[in-house]
Structure 1
């Protein structure tokens, strides 16, 4: 079992790395299983993201997951919020998240609203009530604002069309590709539809280039470690590897097949 290092990562450390476009690896949590999440946060991933949009996690579960990530000691916690909504963004940050991944960002105006909701005045409109984040990130707005990562998802036809303007929004830390929705957005009948593979890859190239031109990070969700390595080699800044539920099912299936002598 990998153990956490003596140097506990901070939100500011992580966000500064993204701003410098340094490579980072992440993991995705959809289950409300804090003991498992704590163990995952000890493995060496730079971040663990709790999925508040499609995950099986309500607010109390997000809070437990972020606490577990901090207890693990090796990763920072991010939250994909359920919508580009100031309440949901503020709630996730108050719970101690180092940053938010905001879905369905269709325009530069959408991205600007997400940034504003992530920052305290005078840089934004986040209401002051840090609760747990005062312990994990800090209580003073001038210290907190530069420590928070705000990542806009590019996953719709509108978001792809406006990606250059989105990446140029002041205060945005980076963009994050939702490949399932992006595949459908470029004409696929379903996520990963091979009929649109070339168009999909061209969309990824456009997103990477837009992020690089604006000097912001570009991230992507991937199904496996080898895919993450490939995307990083192509020019993405950070990549998330699969999810806890997917890996649980896959490991159980592999062991069953081995027990039956099918491997």
Structure 2
């Protein structure tokens, strides 16, 4: 069994996992990232710059590395978008802006075949090639992760976490901080409220026995969040690191001009 085939079991087992975020429509770059050893590579179909056809290329690039599991953040709780993402061979979906247990249940059902869900069997396309043709076996290797990033989601946190077959909740700290009154992401005045909310999320996930993840700005932050009780953490993104490294090298090249 390959490393990616066990991703769903490791996530559901609340093992500590570290992932990376892809926002650019750049399969060659995605393949390089996927060879580094991250447990999963998340592809952003909500805010990233790639269109839906790019999801397929991204999953091919992740699989080429044979080290990471590919997951896709879909644009919304729409079951059609969820099914389309999974048909690429993705090992899971991350569903944004989930506000209630009812919405979480819709998302979960969209990842499962009958009788547990509403997903259509993909047939002889990439999902079958990657995960097989037996619905129950496919469902066992696919995870549904819903995002906690609104005040409404916090109000219904325990009910969301108790959704049958939900594998994990995932905090979007930018949207959640704004929902808690931040003027901008990183607003120090909202930091206490955000930290309190994060503790509530990890505690609710632990009570429900599901995984709990968060998006982080860097590896050190990811390590700190894992130590606080999150079971998986995503590190930054390709587009962010591209800009950061380019800026660092430009500054180094011009260091003498500053002296």
Q: TM-score over 0.5 for the alignment?
A: yes
Q: Which runs of 5+ in 1 are unaligned?
A: 1-6
Q: 1:37, CA displacement in angstroms?
A: 0.3
Counterparts of residues 186-197 of structure 1 (less than 5 Å): 186-197=180-191
Give the C-alpha shift of residue 128 in structure 1.
1.5
Asked if 1 retains the 8 angstrom alpha-carbon contact of 2:94 and 2:144, the reply is yes
Asked if residue 224 in structure 1 is aligned to residue 214 in structure 2, the reply is no
The question of whether the paired residues in 2 share the 8 Å contact of 1:85 and 1:114 is answered with yes
Deviation track 1:153-178 (CA, whole Å, cap 9, x = no partner) reads 00000011111110000000010000
Give the conservation status (yes or no) of the 8 Å contact 2:18–2:39. yes
1:139 to 121, 126, 133: 133
User: Per-residue deviation at 1:129?
Assistant: 1.8
1:51 matched to which residue of 2?
44
Give yes or no for contact 2:91–2:141 (8 Å, CA) kept in 1: yes
Q: Deviations over 1:58-79 (max 9, x none)?
A: 1111110000000011101000
CA distance in structure 2 between the aligned counterparts of 1:20 and 1:8, rounded to whole angstroms: 17
CA contact (8 A) 1:208 1:235 kept: yes
Shift of 1:228: 0.1
Counterpart CA distance in 2 for 1:143 and 1:72 is: 23
Using the TM superposition, give the Cα deviation of residue 147 of structure 1 relative to its aligned residue in structure 2, in angstroms. Answer: 1.1
What count of residue pairs does the alignment treat as equivalent? Answer: 256
1:204 to 190, 193, 198: 198
Aligned to 2:77: 84
Residues 179-212 of structure 1 deviation map (CA, whole Å, 9 limit, x = unaligned): 0000001111111211111000000000000000
Tell me how far apart the structure 1 counterparts of residues 52 and 180 of structure 2 sit (CA, whole Å).
32
The alignment's TM-score, normalised by the length of structure 2, stands at: 0.97
Q: Distance in 2 between matches of 1:137 and 1:206?
A: 35
Cα distance in 2 for partners of 1:77, 1:20 equals 18
Do structure 1's residue 252 and structure 2's residue 246 form an aligned pair?
yes
- Number of the residue aligned with 1:34: 27
Counterpart CA distance in 2 for 1:204 and 1:160 is: 10
* Corresponding position: 1:100 with 2:85: no
1:136 shift after superposition: 1.0
Structure 1 residue runs of 4 or more that deviate by more than 6 Å after TM superposition: none
